[in-house]
Amino acid sequence: MSKRYFGTDGIRGAVGQFPITPDFMLKLGWAAGKVFTGQHTRPKILIGKDTRVSGYMFESTLEAGLSAAGVDVVLLGPMPTPGIAYLTRTFRAAAGIVISASHNPHQDNGIKFFSSEGKKLDDNIEHAIERMLDAEMTVVASEEIGKTRKLEDARGRYIEFCKSTMPRELTLKGLKIVLDCANGATYHVAPSVFEELGAEIVTLGVKPNGLNINEKCGSTSPKTLQQAVLEHKADLGIAFDGDGDRVVMVDHDGEVVDGDELLYIITYGRSVRGELGGGVVGTLMSNFGLEKALVRLDVPFVRAKVGDRYVMEQLSQRNWLLGGESSGHLVCLDKTTTGDGIISALQVLAVVIGTGKPLALLKRGMTKMPQTMINVRLPEKRDIANEPSVCAAVADVEKRLGSRGRVLLRPSGTEPVIRVMVEGEDAVEVQQFAQQISDTVRSVVAVG
């Protein structure tokens, strides 16, 4: 059964446009509260947010709705998304709520829920919340109204947890690191983590004003970080996104090290130490170079659909520990329950320190394949990938690529667009093949 509001990563949209409105958030808080009061006696729910200005408005409306349903609320203030997942679990709370639109600009916002285990909510609970949204809102008896308190040491608790994921025998002493916190939720957490572990740090994006989150900074815009690493002659740079669940890094030469390369480095380090614990889950968009590099390490690799929810599903089914996306949303399930930018960065640094090799050298174990993506707009959503002529064009390219590359046709989940992606060893050939398939798609569309 499809959902009306919940997507693969919660509910998200433009502030002021339904459903990202105060009245909807009030009802959402109440609906979630009613579902959890049906499962727990006097449940407790944590609310955290990133630094965008609209977070304060939605925090208060969610709080009111939860209280009206008889839920006690604990306010965490600005906190990274994975920090909220961690505190939800350690507080034995019924759920955690994150007010964030992740890597999007301040004009957007959204809501994510975590279960009592610090994981994404099960589909059945999301369906139950959506059904309750159709009910008339009521208020529990006065003596049953939920109470609210603020957790004053949320930041400190999470900082200590992040530090605990680094092997005790390792220190960051001697490393000079530039941190870009995207003017987001890691701004008052990440600098303390890395500094207290011994690194000399230079900070960027640590002055949020409610409007500058992800603005020309952070993991989606690493150019400023690249320049800063070179300017300060740093050993490396680390960039998070607005809510702190993604990370990309920059080596001492100023070159970006993306999520696929970071996932390879973490896997390589654990493989060397004999601590891998299974294979690795990527996505349909993971670079083919990652797959080939893992084959050389004799590490199993599977691809999930795009989205961290699907990566987590595959990890759970296979009882594996490592997975992630090219965007830098990495999961280390032996350390925490969800994607965590700070903890993922620490796992990479553990390999840097443990091997004595700089980031620039470690990433050379994986050679990224040239990749071309062409978006072809359709007049309406349709299953164009199964059209005979399109299938023939794809088969022809796959035959010519052989084991040297791959082809992917993926429909957009939000608009009538088919994404044509080709990867291979030769950039010119890859571009030509992608154009060839795209032209075939367009000819089918033109005929109708």
Catalytic machinery residues: 102
Separation between Cα atoms, residue 85 and residue 338, nearest integer Å: 7
DSSP conformation letters of 293-343: HHHHTT--EEEEPSSHHHHHHHHHHHT--EEE-TTS-EEETTT-SS--HHH
Q: Would you say 330 and 311 are in contact if contact means Cβ atoms under 8 Å apart? A: no
Token digits of residue 210: 């409610």
Token digits of residue 29: 């808080």
Would you tell me the crossing angle of helices 341-355 and 154-164 to the nearest 10 degrees? 30
Q: Is residue 277 helix, strand or coil? A: coil
Number of helices (H), then strands (E), belonging to the chain: the values are 14, 18
DSSP conformation letters of 396-437: HHHHHHGGG-EEEEEE-SSSSEEEEEEE-S-HHHHHHHHHHH
Query: Count of residues for the chain?
Result: 448
In what order do the strands lie in the sheet containing 44-49?
Answer: 11-14, 108-115, 95-99, 44-49, 72-78, 148-150
CA angle 136, 137, 139 (to 5 degrees): 135
Separation between Cα atoms, residue 215 and residue 211, nearest integer Å: 8
Separation between Cα atoms, residue 125 and residue 131, nearest integer Å: 10
Type and span of the H or E element at 72: strand 72-78
Q: Is residue 393 helix, strand or coil? A: helix
Under 8 Å CB-to-CB from 183, ≥6 apart: which residues? Answer: 51, 205, 206, 207, 208, 209, 212, 213, 214, 215, 217, 218, 242
In what order do the strands lie in the sheet containing 406-411?
Answer: 371-377, 417-423, 406-411
CA angle 102, 216, 219 (to 5 degrees): 50
